[in-house]
Amino acid sequence: MTTTLTHLECSRCQKSYSADDLLNLCTCGGPLLARYDLPSAAKTLSLDALRSRPATMWRYSELLPARGEPVSLGEGVTPLVHAPALGEQMGLRKLYVKDEGLNPTGSFKARGLSAAVTRAKELGAKKLATPTAGNAGGALAAYAARAGIPAVIVMPADTPEANEIECRAAGAEVVKLDGLISDCGKYVAERKDREGWYEVTTLKEPYRIEGKKTMGLEVWEQLGGALPDVIIYPTGGGVGIIGMWKAFDELEAMGLIGKKRPRMVSVQAAGCAPVVRAFEQGKEDSEFWQNAATLASGLRVPKAIGDFLILRAIRETGGTAVAATDEEIMAEAKELAAREGIFAAPEGAAGLCAARKLANQGWIRPDELVVAYNTGSGYKYLPSWRAAVGA
């Protein structure tokens, strides 16, 4: 098993770059995407071959960027849990939850940061930095510690306490700012060259998306080589949607699936819904969301750098975009916990809000197979849960 990584390609202008250089964005400002020798990958990657491979996301090594031993904590291969009780309440017989809260560091961010730190280490990065709404910072701190590379984590002052604690526990330098993740992003961008930081901000480096795409590869494998009818994904930076969309294109190019795609649903908080608004207005890019506010901190991203790719993925798959209020999110979180035993992050519960709304509208039919992603553990959000359950 070895990577078939060949080069990087700009998602906007299609300019090519060497995969052996430590890069951020294209000269045009577009995010860079990893490209692979897919005919070579197809010779060794199959459902049969996967049966004997290690139970981590690195089982898909042909389609991942590591040249050598990855920086890993055992991320990936999270359960795809049938939710019959909640599904019956919604009128959906085939509702499944992909529970990313069971990853190392308690969220889906482990996947992306494992891949990003792996490549940063291979390419000689000396210090890593990222802005974070919470979970990405915790994941970077853990994987940087694993790799023996210092890390700087810049977070809003009101980031959930659990995220700050895990960053400090892993030895990262933590900077707290009054403001949003966009303000933290500016802080990193303004200082990275002077301080010698390699920036691993969402889509400002090429490999977090590669880790995230394994969420799509796993669903394909867990469904025996099939894909769901609908994928519902909580969207802040939106790397998961973009990554899965990319993964499905790669699987098709390898002859492992056909042209049919799941309808991709982007879910955002009503207090910060730039992608939803852009989708409804028919725009190709979103506008900065003023005064963003939601208890689902991972969804509090006023403008994603890859918004044009998120919107393209939604439209090309016949999907849609849905917003949920904080009250709806925590009510759905309680339903998920009480009916299925899954203690979800608010962001994950937002996906179930979308499932309920779309089922009620008839947009999702009762017999369709639906996969909603719970992106993190509820244990990271105990203050929100305490208020929700009256503890």
Q: What are the two backbone dihedrals, phi and then psi, of residue 271, each rounded to the nearest 5 degrees?
A: -85, 0
Start-to-end CA span in the chain (Å)? 49
Measured from the Cβ of residue 260, the count of other Cβ atoms closer than 10 Å reads 11
Phi, psi of 17 (to 5 degrees): -135, 155
23-32 pLDDT, tens digit each: 999 999 999 9
Do the beta carbons of residue 309 and residue 11 sit within 8 Å?
yes
C-alpha span between 325 and 269 (Å, rounded): 6
- Please list the residues that pair with 377 across neighbouring strands: 344
pLDDT at 6 over 70: yes
Specify which residues 16 forms β-bridges with: 9
Q: What is the DSSP letter of 234?
A: E
Distances (CA, A) of 140 to 120, 170, 338, 347, 363: 12, 9, 32, 19, 38
Averaged pLDDT of the chain:
96
pLDDT, one tens digit per residue, over 9-23 is 999 999 999 999 999
0.75 exceeded by pTM: yes
8 A C-beta contact, residue 140 and residue 117: yes
Q: Give the count of beta carbons closer than 10 Å to the beta carbon of residue 356.
A: 23
pLDDT digits (tens, 9 = 90+) for 172-216: 999 999 998 889 999 999 999 999 999 999 899 999 999 999 999
Contact (Cβ atoms closer than 8 angstroms) between residue 36 and residue 9: no
Sheet of strand 151-156, all strands in order from the earlier edge strand to the far edge: 173-177, 151-156, 128-131, 198-199
Beta bridge partners of 151: 128
Domain boundaries, the chain: 80-107+208-389
Q: How far apart are CA 107 and CA 343, in angstroms?
A: 12
| Cα torsion through 366, 342, 262, 294, rounded to 10 | 110
Query: Which pLDDT does position 222 carry in this prediction?
Result: 98
Give the pLDDT of residue 50.
97
Sheet-wide strand order for 94-99: 80-82, 94-99, 369-374, 230-234, 263-269, 320-324
Question: Per-residue pLDDT tens for 222-272?
Answer: 999 999 999 999 999 999 999 999 999 999 999 999 999 999 999 999 999
Residue % of the chain over a pLDDT of 90? 95
Tokens of 307: 């918004």
Query: Which residues on neighbouring strands pair with residue 178, listed in sequence order?
Result: none
- The pLDDT-based confidence of 390 (bands split at 50, 70, 90) is confident
* 8 A C-beta contact, residue 301 and residue 181: yes
> Per-residue pLDDT averaged across 134-150, rounded?
96
**Residue percentage of the chain with pLDDT more than 70:** 99
Cα 11 from Cα 18, distance rounded (Å): 15
Judge whether residue 146 has pLDDT over 90.
Answer: yes
Q: What is the pLDDT of residue 1?
A: 64
User: Alpha-carbon dihedral of residues 239, 244, 249, 254, nearest 10 degrees?
Assistant: 130
pLDDT tens digits, 287-316: 999 999 999 988 999 999 999 999 999 999
Q: Which residues contact 87 (CB under 8 A, 6 or more apart)?
A: 93, 94, 95
8 A C-beta contact, residue 173 and residue 152: yes
What is the predicted pLDDT for the residue at 45?
97
pLDDT at 134 over 90: no
Residue 323 scores a pLDDT above 90: yes
Query: DSSP E strands: which ranges in 256-367?
Result: 263-269, 320-324
- From the number of C-beta atoms within 10 Å of its C-beta (0-12, 13-18, 19+), residue 229 rates as middle
DSSP string spanning 177-245?
A: ESS-HHHHHHHHHHHHHHHTPEE--TTTSSSHHHHHTHHHHHHHHHTTT---SEEEEE-SS-HHHHHHH
The whole-angstrom separation of Cα 254 and Cα 239 is 22
What span, in angstroms and rounded, lies between the C-alpha atoms of 95 and 84?
7
Reported confidence tier of residue 99, pLDDT bands at 50, 70, 90: very high
Closest CA to 297 of 375, 188, 232, 186: 375
Rounded to an integer, the average pLDDT of 351-355 is 98
In CATH, the number for domain 80-107+208-389 is 3.40.50.1100
7 phi and psi angles, rounded to 5 deg: -165, 175
What pLDDT does residue 72 have? 98
Is 80 exceeded by the pLDDT of residue 281? yes
